Structure 1
Amino acid sequence: MANTANNTALELGASMDYPEHEQTYNGFVSLVKWGTITLVSLLIAMAFGFFVGGFISGAVVFFLVMIAAWFIL
Structure 2
Amino acid sequence: MSEHHSGPVETGAPMNYAEHEKTYDMFIAGTKFGTIILVALMIAMGIGFFTSAGLIGGFLAWVALSGAGVVMMR
Same fold, TM-score > 0.5, yes or no: yes
1:72 aligns with 2:45: no
Which protein shows a greater Rg?
A: 1
CA drift at 1:71 = 1.7
Report the counterpart of residue 4 of structure 2 in structure 1. none
Unaligned runs of 5+ in 1: 1-5
Unaligned runs of 5+ in 2: 1-6
Report the counterpart of residue 7 of structure 1 in structure 2. 8
Contact kept? 2:37, 2:66, Cα under 8 Å? yes
Aligned runs of 1:1-73 on 2, under 5 Å? 7-8=8-9, 11=11, 14-52=13-51, 53-73=53-73
Task: Output the TM-score relative to the length of structure 1.
Answer: 0.79
Give CA deviations for 1:18-69 in whole Å, capped at 9, x if unaligned.
1101000001101111111111010000000011121100000000001101
Indicate the percent of aligned positions where both proteins have the same amino acid.
Answer: 39
Task: Output the TM-score relative to the length of structure 2.
Answer: 0.78
Contact kept? 2:44, 2:62, Cα under 8 Å? yes
> What is the distance in 2 between the residues matched to 1:64 and 1:58?
10
